[in-house]
């Protein structure tokens, strides 16, 4: 595998053969199915895919009907997508820093708090259901007790009513 360092001025350096390589030479190597890896000299990030897709292709390239190579569109889309992700990460980082300085919860903390609130709400619902069931059981037990007491009262009442008649006889 051929490893190339890409410098800020656009030049490519072959780390194996210790020499600079032109984009045309690189295009020929790619045509010859040579495996390559392009890294940024400053950061060490692998930019092979976006760099190779931006290279001029020899011969006829696929077009989108307007005589512009599709490869350039794909390369631009890849770069734009990469920039979007980077910008989103930077915004999130900065927002987290600001929220921390203001002593507000960050996105992850809010997500955790929401999950905790959902769990507590479920526990409250479960307790309310249990309370309703217990209340119904107590109500049924109370009805039974009242029925038994009413029967006992009626029995005593009958005895009291029949007792004076038995005494007079």
Q: What is the pLDDT of residues 130-151, one digit of tens each?
A: 999 999 999 888 999 999 999 9
Quote the pTM value: 0.34
Q: Is the pLDDT of residue 64 over 60?
A: no
Name the residue range of residue 145's domain.
Answer: 105-169
Spell out where the chain has E strands.
2-6, 12-14, 19-21, 36-40
133 & 162 share domain: yes
The span from the CA of 20 to the CA of 11, in Å, is 7
Domain end call among 89, 104, 119? 104
85 & 145 share domain: no
The span from the CA of 39 to the CA of 83, in Å, is 17
17 & 75 share domain: no
Mean predicted lDDT score pLDDT of the chain:
83
Split into its structural domains, the chain has a count of 3
91 & 113 share domain: no
pLDDT digits (tens, 9 = 90+) for 83-120: 999 999 999 899 888 888 888 887 888 899 999 999 99
């Amino acid at each position: 595998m051929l490893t190339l360092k890409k410098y800020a001025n656009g030049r490519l350096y072959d780390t194996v053969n210790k020499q600079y390589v032109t984009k045309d030479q690189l295009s020929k190597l790619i045509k010859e199915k040579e495996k390559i890896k392009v890294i940024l000299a400053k950061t060490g990030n692998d930019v092979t895919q976006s760099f190779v897709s931006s290279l001029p292709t020899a011969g006829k390239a696929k077009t989108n009907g307007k005589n512009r190579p599709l490869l350039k569109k794909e390369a631009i889309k890849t770069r734009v997508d990469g920039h979007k992700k980077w910008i989103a990460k930077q915004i999130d980082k900065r927002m987290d820093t600001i929220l921390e300085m203001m002593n507000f919860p960050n996105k992850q903390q809010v997500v955790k708090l929401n999950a905790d609130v959902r769990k507590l709400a479920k526990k409250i619902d479960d307790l309310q259901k249990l309370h309703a069931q217990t209340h119904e059981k107590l109500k049924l037990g109370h009805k039974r007790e009242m029925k038994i007491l009413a029967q006992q009262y009626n029995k005593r009442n009958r005895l009291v009513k029949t007792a004076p008649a038995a005494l007079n006889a």
